[in-house]
A and B are shown apart, each in its own frame.
Chain A
Amino acid sequence: MRTLDITNCGGSGAWLFYLYILYDYSKRDQSLAKLQEPSDHSCNAWIDEKSDVILNEHTEQSKPLRQVNNAIRTSKYNIFTFLPLNLFEQFRRLANAYFLFLLLLQLIPEISSLSWFTTAGPLILVLSMTAVKDAKSLAHVFYCNATIFSTSTELVAFNQTAHRGYVSQADLLLLSSSEPLNLVYVETAELDGISSGPDTKLMQNSGKTKFKRTSIDHLMNVLVLCIFGFLFALCFILAIGNAIWEVKEGSVFTAFLPRDAGVNAALSSFLSFWSYVIVLNALVPISLYVSVEIIRLGNSYFINWDRKMYYAKNDTPAQARTTTLNEELGQIKYIFSDKTGTLTQNIMAFNKCSINGKNYGRQFKSKNHSDTRKTQKVDFSWNKLADPKFTFHDYSLLEDVREGNPEAQDFFRLLALCHTVMPEEKKEGELNYQAQSPDEGALVTAARNFGFVFRSRTPESITIMEMGQKVTYELLAVLDFNNVRKRMSVIVRSPDGKMTLYCKGADTIIYERLDRSCKKLMNVTTGHLNEYAGDGLRTLVLAYKHLDEKFMDEWTQRHHEASTAMEGREERLDELYEEIEKDMILLGATAVEDKLQDGVPQTIEQLARADIKIWVLTGDKQETAENIGYSCNMLREEMKEVFIVTPCIISVKLYGPFLFFPLQAFALEKDLELELLRTACMCQTVICCRVTPLQKAQVVELVKKYKQAITLAIGDGANDVSMIKAAHIGVGISGQEGMQAVLSSDFSFAQFRYLQRLLLVHGRWSYLRMCKFLQYFFYKNFTFTFVHFWYAFFCGFSAQTVYDEWFITLYNLVYTSLPILSLSLFDQDVNDRWSFQYPQLYAPGQLNMYFSKKAFVRCMMHSCYSSLVLFFIPWAAMRDTVRDDGRDLADYQSFALLAQTCLLIVVSAQLCFDTYYWTTVNQFFVWGSLAAYFAITFTMYSSGMFLIFTSVFPFIGTVRNSLNQPNVWLTIFLASLLCVLPVVAVQGPFCIDSVVTHLAKRVPTNQCKVLRVSTRRSGYAFSHSQGYGALVTSERFLFKRPLKSLVRRDSQSQIQEKENFTRGGVSWTDMG
């Protein structure tokens, strides 16, 4: 035995793995497994897995036969290519390329209307910030790879009898097992099948991953294109203006300003077009994308930090794995949920039972509270083999069993005998059951705790401890479960020679096969079954039948013939089973609780109130799905009619408000798609059952395609991966079923109930913040730019800027960036309690109300108004004015200072009106930015700066000569007033988000508890797949020398493979 420990082999920067396994039989060793340390320390994440294991018995040079390079890499860069590749990637982005183009334009002196630093500064900042972010995420990828790929693997290899030259292609070659009976349990979730290199699941999945973009992203791209168009239109107008001016005025002004050689009016107009492209470039703000990413990152961190989404039991905080989708969480219209492991815990609890007409188990509705025996937790300490995790709440059952009540004992004897569970007892008394379905496990465990302990089994016998006494039953036959029979039976012979058939199955099926003498008991039991169903429990009915020797001999004979028949084996066996499973004696019924995760019904109720449609997509059969639908409050009593779409027919019976899709083999054909979707959307609740993982994705794609709504898929297992990837947002539940779902998800947390916080609180806030940010961002940049447009009419369309170049450089980067960032990180219109209290507050996001093309146009109009005020008020106030001592005040520099101060004050005031939630950080940034503006301006306009950098800071003295004039401040005040007042009047007393105002008057009250009243009969507690009957009675798994088995399975492969698998003597737990 050799342990391969693949570790991070490069210290700071090398993540190169070779997992290279060689089975070398030439030296007649037991085995040799080698891990080659990498010789080449580069910074890629590589896995080199040799999937072909070559068994070659006598070759002297033990070299692999062929060496195909099947290395895979999951990252884009390594340390050397990072800088050039990253820059290349960044410049492929339209905005960045545009700015590079602008920078080049500015290097042409004839065009350059602004110094190069006005563009270069922001560009360099943006590029470096993005590069740092990429580098960080790259490091994270390396870190993850290092974590995932460095899990140690234990290889066990035994000498075996592979023939010479035998070549096998497999991930996993099972040679033998350490377990008794050579049993091996293989978890297939992470298995890669016959794939290697780029065909591995990892690469296949990541290959399919589309880069998810939010609807705001798409809108932003459209808007940026519109802005480009708008920008060029503006520049075109100004260029025409320039041509006209040059002809009429410029041509006669040449005495004072001669034209450059060869420049005429037409060329001048062409040049001024490009000059204005530079001047007006703030319309397409480079910082937009960076700011958006910062905001999303910040809001993602808030998700990671949220204690209310932290699950203490397994120490799992929520995690935003994709940091670019946050605001879309506030716009979800459809949720697609997996069932097992997502809505339910996938834990079954034996909750109640009915034995011989007597009801056991905790009674909530019992009026007789004095009867504490009914509510107390039962103490099983007397039973040394009891499972300590098992709980039951009715002492009377235990008492009846211990007093020797024959029915009660028979009841548990049946549970201990009639199943296909595999026991595992590594140490004496430490029993561990491997059950195909959790239901079976729960039932056998219940029997174990009540004194009927299932100890071990062989193909011919079952050994149980009956109240401390070891009893071995001879196992004569297992009448296995399948979907048609919906029951299973065993026939055993007890040590005293009595032969009994024990049967458990669905109530309807068993009731048809009972002896007439049970009629009275049936009625009582039916009442109990109804009660259990009302509580959402999964029920089974138990029955037995004594068999006489003669009948049994004959039946065994026929059974043997049938099971070895070449033709019609299944049918003949079924007939035989039917024959023996009749006239049975009813014993009772069990009620197993498919435990929902905490808070699932409340969450679903809450999400439904937020007008989010929840579709459950499950591989389970209809009954199970229906049952869960009831217990998590998606289906209610009043929804009496079920609308079922059967696999092949689309002429559906249209009854009522909810829908089941048994999507088994239902390839969503093109012409049926729409019909299906239309029908589904008419229903209040949609549950799709029997869906394969691929179909889950198809359903999601269908809704995405036709409903134009934002979708979210939530699941926990590998079978949900496709759906998680298909949906706009994928959420993984980090549960027990491996990491596949989480790894491909965008957000992950431990409990389904956190979904409501993710959507109603984080999603809503993120959306609100993003919309506010965009609106404000466009507003401030448009206002800034439009002022230039108006000034063009006064400066001969010569592309003279209104503001100081330094102000232009710093406006977006310094003066206005932090206040809006703090707003978009901290703002809350209502707090989280209100968001839960009034889920309807979620609706604006779904309707795209806060930021749309319409809102954008409104924002542009607003900017237009503001820019008019911001240009013409200072113009009119200053054009004929002098200082109080008669000196100049209407010069360009004073006007620039006045205009930029007005602008900054107005946009800051606008921000204040947009802020609902003033934290200290907001205050600090708003006032800090204004203070910074004045401080920086004072510094730049000071004598010292002028004397050191004379040509860079020509505005010397403008602040002290201009800002000490009362009329300058009166102008600033008036301009601010005129810009802000309409906003207050509109936003003010009447048009504040009406819901919020309305709600402000109410005090949040506690929400009424969701009560579920149901009398529906539930389905039965069986897994939907074929049972293990064949396996447990098979002789094969006892072979001392194991068969070579070929294990292959990819996540979507079907049942044939499973059969291969089980025949090979390996039982495999399908966790899907």
Chain B
Amino acid sequence: MGRAKEKSGPLARRPDNSAFKQQRLPAWSPMLTANTVLPFFYLLSVVCMLLGVWLLLTVQSTQEKKLNYTKHGDCNLCFEMRQNVSNAGQTCSCKVEFSIDRTFKGDVFFYYGLKNFHQNLRRYMDSRDDEQTVGRIKNLKSPSVYCEPFQTVENEVPIAPCGAVANSMFNDSFTLTYHTAKGRDVPVPLLRKGLTWYTDKNIKFRNPKTDNLTLAQVFEGTRPPPFWQKPVYELDPHDPINNGFINEDLIVWMREAAFPNFKKLYGILNRADAPFTNGLPKGNYSIDISYNFPVQYFHGEKEVVLTTLTWFGGQNHFLPIAYLVTSSLILLMAVVLTVAWWKFGKDGKNMKD
């Protein structure tokens, strides 16, 4: 194999005496023994325990309110109405009332949630054109075939934004009202900005270059997705900058959820003015819902979630509990191993068995 090195002399073919070739590379051979493993187990158990307790306390400090409004109260009427496709054009609104017992301190986040909506189907996820939403004119006019069956409408008119993901965008809207103890209704101000990842808002989603044209002119020659009531450049009537592909609700929706049950950020409490400077005060609230999104097709449910956050995120009890369980499992394992070691293996004479 290979060419022998051109050496001469009586030992021409003698292999080199290098540590590598003679398999004598210096090496570290750690050995797992009871003396090293058992203390490590106990230490790990303690670490997990502390982590678990700390996380549990952190999670406990958050507050959360979930409201399933699919058929809640008068929303049931809307639910019934949405069952009939022919009513898709009609608006329907309903109101959900609730109260909170303790003040939601700090920043409060308003989410809408969907259940059993599969944003993670392969064909669904593929049905989008990132080159279009990043603002390439070429793709605006002729979207990728991946957008099928929402690539074009009749007569080859391109859809913008194309694809099944954009087409199915969630389109309920919410108005949160605080009913003070004195009976006054105060609208809760929600910031509808800063809902997206920085990279999504600034890099992944961009409007096509306008060159002094208005957004409407840029999108001329395209159609909105079939399910949309409004074109993409009129998504946000209140803020002209928040339109087109960089509309935050669109961006939030376009970040497909990994699982069929998910929640997406709708707004953040604006704490600029009283009585919301400290958060959401306790008391009665109502949400006026413009009920547009049909869920009965996929046996789904809709909800709104109000929550406060910590450094650890929202109110998810899984990790703290998992750490506590792991800690006790490790401890149990360590004790069993210690006993076994004490009884059988301590002096090494039973190792053979």
Contact = CB atoms under 8 A, between A and B. Distances in A.
Contacts of B116: 249
Interface in B240-268: 252, 255-265, 268
A756 interface: no
A878 B268 CA distance: 21
Contact of B311 (A884, A918, A954): A884
B34 to A, nearest CB: 4
Q: How large is the interface on B (under 10, 10 to 19, 20 to 34, 35 or more residues)?
A: 35 or more
Contact of A882 (B28, B136, B259, B314): B314
A665 interface: no
A253 B297 contact: yes
Contacts of B11: 312, 315
B261 A879 contact: yes
A828 B25 CA distance: 11
Interface in A871-906: 873, 875-896
B118 interface: yes
B287 interface: no
Contacts of B144: 951
B38 interface: yes
Interface stretch (B90-98, B195-203, B208-216): B195-203
A981 B314 CA distance: 29
Interface in B103-146: 107, 109, 111, 116, 118-125, 127, 129-131, 134, 136, 144
Interface in A296-323: 300-302, 304-308, 310, 312, 315-317, 320, 323
A997 B348 CA distance: 9
Interface string A254-283: 111110100000000000000100000000
A527 interface: no
B255 to A, nearest CB: 4
A967 B319 contact: yes
Interface stretch (A505-513, A796-804, A1063-1071): A796-804
Contacts of B272: none
Contact of B313 (A826, A884, A918): A884
Contacts of B183: none
A810 interface: no
Residue from B16, B124, B195 whose CB has the most chain A CB atoms within 10 Å = B124
Given A306-B22, A879-B259, A921-B25, A961 B268 contact: no
Contacts of B14: 307, 310, 312, 315, 317
B88 to A, nearest CB: 10
Interface in A933-978: 943, 946-947, 950-951, 954, 956-957, 960-961, 965-967, 970-971, 974, 977-978
B228 to A, nearest CB: 13
Interface residues of A, number: 100
Given A304-B1, A798-B122, A961 B197 contact: yes
Given A255-B297, A323-B1, A957-B199, A302 B252 contact: no
A994 B123 contact: no
B75 interface: no
A365 interface: no
A252 interface: yes
A875 B27 contact: no
Given A255-B297, A305-B21, A795 B121 contact: yes
B298 A890 contact: no
B337 A989 contact: yes
Nearest to A272: B122
Contacts of B255: 888, 891-893
A877 B323 CA distance: 11
Contacts of B313: 881-884, 889, 965, 967
B337 A302 contact: no
Contacts of B84: none
A981 B330 contact: yes
B204 A946 contact: yes
B149 interface: yes
B29 interface: yes
B181 interface: no
Nearest to B333: A985
A60 B164 CA distance: 92
B297 A258 contact: no
A382 interface: no
A839 B114 CA distance: 66
A305 B22 contact: yes
Contacts of A252: 297-299
B199 A961 contact: yes
Residue from A307, A310, A913, A921 whose CB has the most chain B CB atoms within 10 Å = A307
B134 A950 contact: yes
Given A882-B265, A988-B37, A892 B119 contact: yes
Nearest to A143: B3
Contacts of B173: none
Nearest to A268: B123
B164 to A, nearest CB: 5
B237 interface: no
A706 interface: no
A762 to B, nearest CB: 9
Contacts of A877: 316, 318-319, 322
Interface string A376-394: 0000000000000000000
A892 B257 contact: yes
A349 B339 CA distance: 66
B25 A989 contact: no
Nearest to B261: A879
Nearest to A997: B351
A916 B29 contact: yes
Contacts of B261: 879
B231 interface: no
A620 B22 CA distance: 39
A149 B299 CA distance: 80
Nearest to A873: B322
A249 B352 contact: no
A794 B319 CA distance: 20
A920 interface: yes
B326 A974 contact: yes
Contacts of A300: 1
B340 A990 contact: yes
B179 to A, nearest CB: 25
A449 interface: no
B43 interface: no
Contact of B31 (A258, A875, A992): A992
A257 B127 contact: yes
Nearest to B168: A256
A795 B314 CA distance: 24
A342 interface: no
A655 interface: no
B120 A892 contact: yes
A998 B314 contact: no
A895 B255 CA distance: 12
Nearest to A918: B28
A301 B134 CA distance: 54
A977 B323 CA distance: 10
B13 A970 contact: no
A257 B164 contact: yes
Contacts of A306: 15, 21-23
Contact of A880 (B22, B27, B121, B316): B316
Interface of B: 1, 10-17, 21-23, 25-34, 37-38, 41, 44, 48, 51, 55, 107, 109, 111, 116, 118-125, 127, 129-131, 134, 136, 144, 149, 164, 167-168, 195-200, 203-204, 252, 255-265, 268, 294, 297-299, 309-316, 318-319, 322-323, 326, 330, 333, 337, 340-341, 344-345, 348, 351-353
Among all A-B residue pairs, the 10 with the closest Cβ atoms:
A957-B199, A989-B34, A895-B258, A305-B21, A886-B109, A256-B168, A798-B122, A988-B37, A800-B122, A918-B28
Given A306-B22, A989-B38, A990-B340, 4 more contacts: A795-B120, A795-B122, A826-B25, A886-B268
17 contacts: A306-B21, A307-B17, A795-B120, A887-B197, A890-B258, A890-B262, A892-B120, A893-B255, A916-B29, A918-B29, A951-B129, A957-B200, A971-B319, A989-B32, A995-B352, A997-B351, A1000-B31
